[in-house]
A and B are shown apart, each in its own frame.
Chain A
Amino acid sequence: DQQVKQNSPSLSVQEGRISILNCDYTNSMFDYFLWYKKYPAEGPTFLISISSIKDKNEDGRFTVFLNKSAKHLSLHIVPSQPGDSAVYFCAASDGTSGTYKYIFGTGTRLKVLA
Chain B
Amino acid sequence: GAVVSQHPSRVICKSGTSVKIECRSLDFQATTMFWYRQFPKQSLMLMATSNEGSKATYEQGVEKDKFLINHASLTLSTLTVTSAHPEDSSFYICSAREVWSPREKLFFGSGTQLSVL
Report A's interface with B, CB cutoff 8 A: 2, 4, 9, 32, 34, 36, 41-46, 49, 51, 89, 93, 95, 99-107
Contacts and interface: CB of A to CB of B under 8 A. Distances in A.
The 10 closest A-B pairs by CB, nearest first: A43-B108, A49-B104, A104-B44, A106-B43, A43-B110, A32-B103, A104-B43, A44-B108, A43-B111, A43-B109
A102 B106 CA distance: 9
Which secondary structure dominates where chain B touches chain A? strand
Nearest to B106: A102
B78 interface: no
Interface of B: 4, 6, 9, 32, 34, 36, 41-46, 49, 57, 91, 93, 95, 97, 103-104, 106-111, 113
Contacts of A43: 4, 6, 93, 95, 108-111
Given A99-B32, A101-B49, A103-B46, A46 B104 contact: yes
B113 A41 contact: yes
A89 B110 CA distance: 16
Contacts of B104: 32, 34, 46, 49
